[in-house]
Copies of this chain bind each other. A is one copy, B any other.
Amino acid sequence: MSTHAGRSAVLPNGGFCVWLTGLPSAGKTTIGRELLTRLRALGYHAELLDGDEIRQGLSSDLGFDRAGRESHASRVTYMAKVLARNDVIPIVALISPYRTSRARARAEIGHFVEVYVDTPIGVCETRDVKGLYKKARSGAIREMTGVDDPYEPPESPEVVVHTTDATTAQVADRLYGRLVELGWLPRS
């Protein structure tokens, strides 16, 4: 296992959760990884809780119907809460299509930054990182968010990022800047 002993940069207001929500292939994981790399390089404890990876760890039993998605979001929420209260920065990259699940996460975690990765579905479908749009359009899979399952966009997220006309580095710059503005990271 890799330990991060030696990381000891201090957060001005303790741990907080960065919750990236958006359609499949919107860019959540890519942005999350970039932010994770930057935070660790600066000496912070941070973890990427990526939807697909964490399903293996916590939710291999769950499906992608509404109940399965909500249970998964609630387990991720629990884990993020425990991390954040120990001064770790959990970065959640999860479609999390339902407003109610995200509202529960916000209420339970408290220190919460909702980031809407606002990539138009046409762009997501062109990227189709995991080939899921293609499968959904052909009927090979069901319950695909954006195709035959709803995505409820955030109404008042702390941050909205656009990925179509910006590099990953530019998006991460902007997100980092907002975290400073919001008081979660210190001004350098």
Interface residues of A (CB under 8 A from B): 1-5, 7-8, 10-11, 13-15, 45, 47, 57-58, 60-62, 71, 74-75, 78-79, 81-88, 108-111
Contacts and interface: CB of A to CB of B under 8 A. Distances in A.
Copies per complex of this chain: 2
Given A4-B14, A88-B88, A57 B83 contact: no
Give the secondary structure class of A's interface.
loop
28 contacts: A1-B81, A1-B85, A1-B108, A1-B109, A1-B110, A2-B85, A3-B14, A3-B15, A3-B85, A3-B111, A4-B85, A4-B86, A5-B11, A5-B87, A8-B8, A8-B10, A45-B86, A45-B87, A58-B58, A61-B61, A61-B71, A75-B75, A79-B79, A82-B83, A83-B88, A86-B86, A86-B88, A88-B88
